[in-house]
Amino acid sequence: MYRSSVLPTLRALLARDDLALRLATPAPAAALDSPVQWVHSSDLVDPTPFLAPGQVLLTTGTQFDQTDADDYVARLVDRGITGLGFGTEVIRAGTPVALIESCGVRGLPLFEVPYRTPFIAVARTTAELIAADAYARHTWALDAQRAISLAALRADGLHAALAELARVLATGVALFDAGGGLDRVFPADAIDPIALGVVRRDVELLLARGQRASATVEAGGRSLQLHTLGGRGRLRGVLAVGADLDEQGREVVASVVGLASLALEQARELDRTRQRMRTGLVHALLAGETELVARVAPDLGGALPEGEVRVAIVAVDSDRRDALDELLERRARQSTGALFFGRTDDGVLLVVDAAASRTLRELPRRFGARVGVSGLASREQLAPALAQARDALATLDEPGTRGFDELAAHGIVDSLARGGTRELARAAIAPLTRHDADAGTELVATLRAWLEADAQYDRAAAALGVHRHTVRARIALAERVSGRDLGTFAGRAELWVALVASA
């Protein structure tokens, strides 16, 4: 079982019969139980430049002929000294009263070292206790790593190793997948779900950076250490460990991070094989081999949904594609028969049942993806549904989700603008725009008002606040500048679409 490094304390040294140390002043329990980093002896007036916080100082008191006891103790307290030992019967018969009073006031434990106990004995005993603790910690680390390695040889090696890590550290351990989703917690109830929700945001940030990293976060009143799994540019997940670890504990976690990264990389190779097989099923599905795909798909971790479905096409950056696949793998296993997916030449194709919209909505946020979604279709209409999804995807310049139903509701002209014809439309009205800029005319505004008024000059003039003859003259000029015959429906329609699509 895990325990942090346990250095000797002043209380432990005082309890040693062989040292016969005696506490000379009342001292706070916290001071007596503070770890002793080392024992040093000195009779310098100011030894603090040669001391470190957490040390115990031994002295015979010769310096008190040259310095005030209170100033001396104040310097030791400011330096963070754990305790002061006074060697009696060496220079003085007893401990100076001024030293006792000053240590009592400042809360510095003062103890007497009898003449029969050499200072070196106190230092040697402390060193032996420190060495024994270090040996115990190294032994524990070796035993822990051996137990984790044996656990990794089981059928479910990764999860068994993480369960063993949680046992030897006596704390909760959580595994997040490459998409930032929670895979499992060891033991199952070891980390509060609210804390896991808070941590998940930090997990997603680490994964988004794409680099190996560690971080400590506060969640639910406890500290959690996060460690990315995998290599730079191919992160496979994040390990969260709920413990304040010493050096040996961190070594054990580091070994598990390496082990988990290797296991996840091996699992990813299997996933790639399944991915290639799924891609083949996608081609078969689009070729109309619905029954074949329905029989084979469950063996690849995702059954083909029944009834009415939607087809989605997901475009995502190449460095996020593996993480997207892992999320979809997990969702397909969790909701059998609700989601099937595979790669196509232009993205990742999803076939989802009518209730699977939650997954489609979260992809832009988690992966910066653009998602086009078809209308409802039967399994026999997947090819036309894919065409609808691609039309919807073509309207997205930024991460987001757009359905074909929404696209159709905006109207055909607006859909053309969303579909990438904006630059073409701007080119069509460019002669009018340039003429307005060069000659100070208002051909574009007049043309728009005239077309919105169904090519009626009086209504357009009223809308613009000018005479109808002015509108008529401007339209005639616009016809010459644009090179379109505005007396025909085709000419008017082409410029109307250009005006709408270029906005």
Instruction: Give 128's contacts (C-beta < 8 A, 6+ positions apart).
Output: none
Instruction: Give 313's contacts (C-beta < 8 A, 6+ positions apart).
Output: 344, 346, 347, 348, 349, 350, 371, 372, 386, 389, 390, 393
Average pLDDT over residues 332-351: 78
The alpha carbon of residue 116 and the mean position of all alpha carbons in its chain are separated, in whole angstroms, by: 61
For residue 312, pLDDT over 70 is answered with yes
The candidate with the shortest Cα–Cα distance to 110, out of 66, 76, 78, 79, is 76
In this prediction the pTM is 0.47
For residue 420, pLDDT over 60 is answered with no
Average pLDDT over residues 383-395: 85
The tens digit of pLDDT for each residue in 153-170 reads 776 777 888 888 888 888
The tens digit of pLDDT for each residue in 63-80 reads 888 889 999 999 999 999
The tens digit of pLDDT for each residue in 221-276 reads 778 888 888 776 677 788 888 877 777 777 888 888 787 777 666 666 666 666 67
For residue 81, pLDDT over 80 is answered with yes
Rounded Cα distance between 215 and 33, Å, is 30
pLDDT at 407: 64
pLDDT at 219: 73
Domains (ranges, CATH) in the chain?
Answer: 10-128 (3.40.1390.20), 154-267 (3.30.450.40), 289-409 (3.30.70.270), 413-501 (no CATH)
Mean pLDDT of the chain: 82
For residue 29, pLDDT over 80 is answered with yes
Greater confidence, 1 or 48? 48
**Could you tell me if 409 and 402 are in contact, meaning their C-beta atoms sit under 8 angstroms apart?**
no
